[in-house]
Structure formats: C-alpha cells, structure tokens
Structure 1
C-alpha cells in the first residue's frame, strides 16, 4: 500500500495524459475512483494534500481541489478537518471486483444456428483510421475543422438545463421529441418541397435504420425490389436480409432508367437527388415517369434523399414533394451536414404507415436517444443548421472544383463525373484498371480511396471505377493527394 507521502506510488496510481480526450480533472477523478474500487487505498491512509499531488502531477492546484471536491460530493471521499481526505468506508461495503478468469473455448457453432447471413454480405470500406491518413478521400465522414463545435456545445448545454431535462429524460415509449418533429417539418422538409403533418414523420437512427424497419415491416420473403446498378450496397444487403430479391436497373446520364424497371416489381429503391454513387440526379421527365408507373403497377417507391442536404445551384424537389398518391416513402438524415456519428435521420410517409413503424420501433429500440433529439431540435431552431449548410456548401464546392482540376491535370486518362453538389466524385479509369489493387497500393502512400466494385450487383470483382469523397479532406491536401494517387496508378502493376 502506498503511504501518504510516497510520491512515486501515488503518481503511479494517478496517471494523466495530455493526449486524452478527458479533462485533467476528470482523469484524476477516474484514477482515484479506480484505485478505491480496486482496494489500492486503505481506509486509514489520507490522500496526499492537493498542493503536493498537484506538484507531483504537474497540474494546477485548483484542478486537484475541484477533483477532490467532486469525489466528496459523490461519496467516494470524506474530508476530515486538519487530517485530509480519506476513502469513504461506505464505498467499500460491496465485495471487491472479482478478477477476470480465463474462459474456455465455446463449443457452440453459432454460424450453424443463425437464421440470416449478415456476416456474409458485403462489409463497409476498411477506413477505421482515416483520420491518420494524409489524404483521406473518404466518403461519408466529417471534417473536424468544419464541425460547428461551439454551436453544438451550446445546444447540448441548453438541453441539460433543468427544465429541458424534464422534457427528454422520461421514457418516451414510441414517441419522438415534439420540438424536433416540428423543426424537421418546418426547417428541413420544405427545402425539399415536402409538406407533412407531424403524424407523418418519425425519427430514426439514420437512413439505414429506416430502411431496416421498412424491410422488416413491408417485405415478405420473395418480394422484388428494383434498385439502381451501381447502387447503394447496404440497401441491397438490407433488402436481402429480409428475404427480398433485388432487381438491378441500369443508370445513365439521366439517372435510373425507369423503362428498365420490371413491371412485376413490388418496390423501387431510388436515390434521385444524387445517385449513389455517380451523383447524377434523376431527370425531371424520369421523375414523372416513375411516379406514373408506380401508380400503374402498384409499386411502393422508397426515396433515399442521398447527399441532398447541401445547397445545389439548381435543386429539384424530392419525389415525395411530387407524390399525390402516397406511394413514396422519403428518407433523410443529418449525416452529411451535422455528423455521421450522431446517427439521426427521419422518415416521411403516410400517417398509418408511420404509426406501424412506431409500433415496430418500440420493440427494437423504443426511440432514438431523447437528449440527442432535443439538442438537434435546438440546433435547428437557433438557425445553426442553416448557417452550417451554407458554410459546408461553399467549402465542398471549392473542394470539388479543386479535385476536378487536379484529376484533369494529373490523371487526364480518368473520366470524372462533373455533377454539381454532393460530397463525392465518381471516376472511371482506363480499360484494365483494377481499383481494388489501386486502393491497396495507394494506402501505402497515405491516400485512401473507395473502389467502385462494391456498388455493383453480383460478386465483387475487379472494376475500373472508384469514388473519391471530399467531406473529410482539407482543400490544401487535394492536389498533393491526387499527385500521389497518380503516381501509384501509373505503375504498370496496377493494371489487371
């Protein structure tokens, strides 16, 4: 056991790091709590004085004072006049935490018992450490330099006010934050030409959660879902998990070829604002044709308003805004503007469908975290989101132009889809290019790209296509990143 003045042992027990995301005060509290619960501090031994501990840890005395006071308030420490701080005996009335014992190897064949083959479906890109990359042309991530840190903190502080806590801390069962529904209804949907009632909106844990609920609720085994090819791979996998059959439909310069959709399809999944992954918008004529054919053939249209949150020069209203028959189910999210890690989206559909989705969601997760819902509602109501959209739109347009310019200069043999708006660019390489091999080689030079093969229906194979994201790479890194990528692509070993 350390003694009160044994500095080496105390600094060994209480370690702090400047690289930690926690404050110094929080790190000190965590270390002391851990030492108390592990019985490393005896009841009869006072902790070092605040002055001595601050000196040994290299922190301000006030930091230690506040940490000790918090631990006293929480009941971990007690302060005895003129003697110092001691461990509260009541904390140690529970038995000590048991040591971890090695477990034997499981003899159960879990793969044989599973009812769905989720692990065998295509996985996400392996970009876990993209922030450490010099040139992350990663789609769907955020740029910390553009994140509205001060505004988001303000909204979270407001959500933690006493009166606000009363609004969101109770179990909402199958309901959503009424302020967030109001803000989605008033601030987000009208920009897409959609005017909905509150009972036609449900909050989801992102667009994928909405797709999973829809497939669970509506798709029986053998249902036929027409979708773009290339298209959104996770949507394809979600539909197949539900037992549905996906019907690949070609895409051209006007988006999904509506004439190629089989008449006997049950559902049509489409990304009309910016097609995933080429970014091509569905033409006005094809939008009208899709809605007409849907009514004629009794299709349900699932509209993923993919990459539409940013301001386009010539925006088209969503399919849902043109729908007068109630056949379009609209999915939106806050991923491309606020943060993908927030996992907050929304679905708009007929009131009776939304009521069924609420009943289903209650058995899955009850409702998305209400504190996050309230913080986002405040973020929208204070105008922070509108300001963020303007800032991101300007920044991403600059990056898109810079990327196209760099591709034209250093990779002129590659065909780049020059489509306004959005957060990525789709490219086609020279004949024989294998972008999977290119991605692997480029990663060794600090460049992360996304091979295009995963977007096509069928077994993954070599493909000359790739997607370059612009949301997470600083503008000054784009040109040198493309130079590095060009150097890798020019090597003859990349060709298949």
Structure 2
C-alpha cells in the first residue's frame, strides 16, 4: 500500500542513517521519535513509501516493511486507499505517559524546585571512595593497554549467538519463563562441577555452589554476610581496590597484607583478623602467582587463628607459563576457603556471570541474601552459558585465549626490555596484564596523561595502594584488547611519553626524599 505525502518536517527523519545498523530498525526509531515529538499528527497520513524511500535514500521495499511492521505492533493503522495513520491508542498512551512523568500541576511550586538535602539522608557514600578510572572511549586509542577487556573472538561470538538462540527454543523455554526465585540453572551448576572446578583442584556438590553476577558480586555477598563494624580483614597491599571498597563499605577494618614476587605474604598481622582476602592465581594488580609455600602457610595460619579466606580466582584459566596450580580451596581441609570465580571475564567481560564455592551452610545464607538483592542472575544467560560449556565452546575459547595471550605476553616483555630498559616489569606466569615500575621520580598519573597524548591508554597503579602517594610510580598494562602486531609501536609510544616525563623531571628542582615504608615492598618485585 502506498500513501500520499504528509506535511511532516523533513528534519524529523532525515538525519543520516548509520550504515552499520539495520536500516529498518533506524527508520522505525525515527518515525516513533517524530510521532512522540508531534511532527507526525494523527489526522494526516505518513509520507508515501516512494517519497520516504527517496528522502532516506533506501529502497521502497524497506520502507514498506517498516510501515507494515509498525502496523502489526500497534504504532500505525492502515486505512484503505488513504495510507498509514498514527494509531490513536498509541497517541493516548504516549500522552498519559507524558502527563504521569510531569506529575500533578501545582501553581504554588516554583518551576525549578528540586528535592534537597539528600546527603543527610544517605547512610553510605560509595561515590566518595577511590575507584579505577579508565577513559570510556579507550577503543579509539591506537594502543589500548587496558586491563579487564578482551579482543573480540569471532568464533566465540558466533557460537555464543548460537547458544542464545538455542536457549530460546521450546525445550529450554520453561527455564526462562519460570522465576527461579533463589535457585540456579541446574545445567549450569552441572557444567561448573564437571568442567570448571576439576581444573582448579576442587570437588564440590551442587549444594556448595551459588551462581553470581561475576566474581566481584560473590565478594560483595560474602562481605555482606560476614563483615561489619569491628571485623578485621587482611587485604593485599597493593590490592584490588573495588574489593577493598566493598569491605570498607560494610564497616570492616582493613589490615595490610604485603605483596612481593611470591604473592601475598602471611605474617603476624593475621593474628587478630577475622577474614583474609587474596587473589592467589593472578594477584590483583601485580599479576604474580602465589607460591605453593605461601598457599600452605596461609591455610595453616587460617586454621591456627580461626580465619576465613576469601579466594578471588577471577582468571584462573589464563595461566600459560609452567604448570597451573590448584586453587587454595583445592588444598583446604578445614572448609575455611570461600572460592569466587568468573565464568565471563575470560570470554565476554560484559556478560557478568560468576560463582562461589563454599560450605553448604554458607551457600544457604548467601542464597537467601542474593534473593533479597536480585533473586538470581538471568536465566537466559545461565542456560546459554551452560550450552556454551557443554558443547565445548568454552574450552575451545580458553585454549585460543591462552595461545593469543601467551604471544602477547612474550611480545610485551621483549619490547619492554628492548625499549623501556629503565623500567622494571614484574615476571608473571601469564594472565592478561603486566605490572610495570617507572623510573624514580616519574609519577604514574603524569605518565598516564603523557601516554594518552601519544595514543596509548595505561592504568595507574597508585589506586591499588591503600594509601596512594604522589611518588608511586607503578602502572598496570593490560594487553588483552591490543593486537600483537601493534604492541611494538605501542611500547614505542610509551617510550616517547617516558622521555617527555624524564625531561620534565630533570628540569624540575629536586625534592627532599621521603622515607619509604612497607608500600615499597608491596610493589617491588
């Protein structure tokens, strides 16, 4: 059906279309926007399909399909020999929505009145805590040494889409249509037990596992359950700032646990603690792996002092140098280790799926707590991940990731040694990042700004220390999202940034040297 032209202003629809997005979806969005803004009125038909097609530089068939679909969805009404009109029911609903959003009219209320005094009602101010800051547009930089991101794997993306479609089929619909309340997808639990835990040296039953929205969410749940004012938490320094913020938000007192080339170092500070948080596989942020001697010493200290251990094993699978060690929980004989892991970080960081393994009585309480927060993670995501794992796609992806990261790890270390000999890189057993120490007198923040001017994104290490100081000179360089072929040029850009910073340091008057304390040991490898 064709229609005659409406007097709708051209600018309501004629912004350039994005060739990277489906044309029909964009045209429908523009028409809905024009209806809501009043550019399309109910008593006049929409422009004829040939007119609209000519104005948008698309095929007439494309516009026809959009009109027909919008009629099916209730936006438009087809009137024989007259064309397509805006459906009156849609207009009424839109008007009611706008009136509800505006609220009841009060002539005595000033037009710019705003609620005030929110701060005095807030019990917590999470926004005031220190946080990792990365540019939201990091992808536009030619050399993104960004941690926590991965390069797109076309094979895995295709397989994941297939699993999403498969999860929506009739045989799986029951699991999606039903509110799981506080339960988890049994197929995903089975896959975690069969495929994930054995690699970590862990044996567990279904009653010892809870699915979470990432490993960080697992840490949050544990903190809510076990921490409060008066709780003392031994925490790696430097350490993962988001986890530290979680414990502090619940009122816990943080006790520094120093880090060196062998990982977190158990010491007498554990004597009066209630809980210890560690990242043994890849210490965050230095990426070192805790030695077997340290692991056993920590477990012995936990038994001796009646401690609980929170093990955040967020990327266990990404070790690619030497034999992979078992998780702490794999050596735990007293049931003191709560093991948190991520299912999505090595695959699709934005997916946000993880799990926690703990004693059954702990899982019961964590499950009840999770129910109060968000009931359960998306049933669709859980089922799709279960299928992704059961069909072998997860294992295949991890193998490709290990090979790819091993090549980049080797290139990174080689180029740093060649181009940045005055910097010190921490030796690791793999992972997706390196911990780099800049020359003395070069502040990480100043270097980060200079690197950005040369097209490189880096992460300052200061934020991971509990008491950041201006002279801290550590960086975390992620190499997950940067192509291996671009690493040499990227390190060359860092060399240029460092030369600029060194020149500025040499021009500046000397500063009196301050005594360094344990924080120096925490970063020295």
**CA gap 1:431/1:172 in 2 versus in 1, 3 angstroms:** same
Q: Which moved further from structure 2: 138-147 or 441-450?
A: 138-147
Contiguous gaps of at least 5 residues in structure 2? 103-109, 512-525
The reply to whether residue 296 of structure 1 matches residue 304 of structure 2 is yes
* Equivalent residue, structure 2, for 1:169: 177
Query: SS of the residue aligned with 2:189?
Result: helix
Task: Choose from 109, 113, 132 the match for 2:117.
Answer: 109
Q: Map 1:197-276 to 2 at 5 A.
A: 197-276=205-284
In 2: Cα distance, 1:300 partner to 1:353 partner? 12
When residues 304 and 178 of structure 1 are mapped into structure 2, their CA distance, relative to the original with a 3 A threshold, is same
1:422 Cα shift? 0.3
| Aligned with 1:351 (options 360, 371, 389) | 360
SS in 1 for 2:318: coil
Equivalent positions of 1:90-109 (< 5 A) are 90-94=89-93, 96=95, 98=98, 104=112, 106=114, 108-109=116-117
2:13 alignment partner in structure 1? 13
State whether residues 11 and 57 of structure 1, in contact with CA within 8 Å, keep that contact through their aligned partners in structure 2: no
2:326 corresponds in structure 1 to 317
Q: Following the alignment from structure 2 to structure 1, what is the Cα–Cα distance between the partners of residues 462 and 360? A: 38
- Structure 1 gaps, min length 5: none
Distance 1:14 1:177 in 2: 46
The change in CA–CA distance for 1:462 and 1:169 in structure 2 (over 3 A counts) is: farther
Instruction: Go from structure 1 to structure 2 and tell me whether the alpha carbon gap of 1:103 and 1:448 turns closer, same or farther (over 3 Å shift).
Output: farther
C-alpha contact 1:213 1:360 (8 A) present in aligned 2: yes
Alpha-carbon distance in structure 1 between the residues aligned to 2:4 and 2:82:
11
- Residue 412 of structure 2 aligns to a residue whose secondary structure is helix
Are residue 186 (structure 1) and residue 185 (structure 2) matched?
A: no
Give the whole-Å Cα distance in 2 for the aligned partners of 1:353 and 1:322.
Answer: 19
What corresponds to 1:144 in structure 2? 152
1: CA distance, partners of 2:490 / 2:295: 37
Contact kept in structure 1, 2:314 and 2:345, CA below 8 Å: no
* Cα distance in structure 2, aligned partners of 1:41 and 1:7: 8
| CA shift digits 1:96-124 (9 cap, x unpaired) | 25388796364623333322231221112
| 8 Å contact kept, 2:202–2:327 | yes
CA distance in 2, matches of 1:224, 1:142: 35
Structure 2 CA distance, aligned partners of 1:284 and 1:387? Answer: 28
Compare 389-398 and 170-179 and name the one that shifted more.
170-179
1:188-217 residue CA offsets vs partner (Å, 9 max, x unmatched): 111111121111111111122111111111
Give the Cα separation in 2 of the matches to 1:135 and 1:378.
35
Residue 396 (structure 1) aligns with: 405
The separation in 1 between residues aligned to 2:505 and 2:392, in whole angstroms, is: 48
Classify 1:95/1:61 alpha carbon distance in 2 versus 1 (closer, same or farther; 3 Å): closer
Change (3 A) 1:317 1:37: same
Local SS of the residue matching 2:298: helix
Tell me the equivalent position of 1:333: 342
Moved more, 97-106 or 346-355: 97-106
Displacement of 1:462 in angstroms is 2.5
Report the Cα distance in structure 1 between the residues aligned to 2:178 and 2:268, rounded to whole angstroms: 50
Q: 1:368 aligns with which of 371, 377, 385?
A: 377
Q: Which residue of 2 is the match for residue 55 of structure 1? A: 54
* 1:274/1:280 contact within 8 Å kept: yes
Q: Is contact 1:255-1:281 (8 Å) kept? A: yes
Quote the Cα distance in structure 1 between the aligned partners of 2:48 and 2:6: 12
The C-alpha deviation readout for 1:235-265, integer Å capped at 9, x for no partner, is 1111111111111111222211123442111
Task: Specify whether residues 94 and 417 from structure 1 end up closer, same or farther in structure 2 by C-alpha distance, changes over 3 A only.
Answer: closer
Inter-partner Cα distance in structure 1 for 2:269 and 2:261: 17
* Cα deviations by residue, 1:296-315 (Å, 9 ceiling, x for unpaired): 21100000013312253310
Residue of structure 1 in register with 2:313 after alignment: 305
The CA deviation at 1:375 is: 1.7
Deviates more, 1:258-267 or 1:407-416: 258-267
SS at match of 1:425: strand
For residues 276 and 145 of structure 2, the distance between their equivalents in structure 1, rounded to whole angstroms, comes to: 30
Deviations 1:42-90 (A, max 9, x none): 3343323334322321223332232222212112222334433222233
Asked if structure 2 preserves the Cα contact closer than 8 Å seen for 1:200 and 1:348, the reply is yes
Q: In the alignment, what sits opposite 2:523?
A: none
d(CA) in 1 for partners of 2:313, 2:439:
31
Aligned partners of 2:113 and 2:88: how far apart in 1? 39
* More displaced stretch, 145-154 vs 259-268: 145-154
Secondary structure at 1:191 match in 2: helix
Mapped contact 1:399–1:475 kept (Cα < 8 A): yes
Shift of 1:19: 5.6
1:6–1:45 distance in 2 versus 1, CA, 3 Å:
closer
- The aligned counterpart of 1:128 is 136
Q: What is the count of residue pairs matched by the alignment?
A: 493
Change (3 A) 1:411 1:238: same
Q: Secondary structure at the match of 2:410?
A: helix
CA drift at 1:277: 1.5
Distance in 2 between residues matched to 1:472 and 1:103, nearest whole Å: 48
| Length-normalised TM-score, structure 1 | 0.93
Relative to structure 2, which stretch is displaced further, 38-47 or 394-403? 38-47
TM-score, reference length from structure 2: 0.88
2:453, 2:505 → 1: CA distance? 14
More deviation in 304-313 or 375-384?
A: 304-313
Aligned to 1:420, which of 410, 416, 429? 429
Residue of structure 2 equivalent to 1:477: 486
CA offset digits 1:133-176 (Å, max 9, x no partner): 11110000122356722112111111222442331132211111
CA deviation string 1:380-412 (max 9, x = no partner): 122111111111111111111111111111110
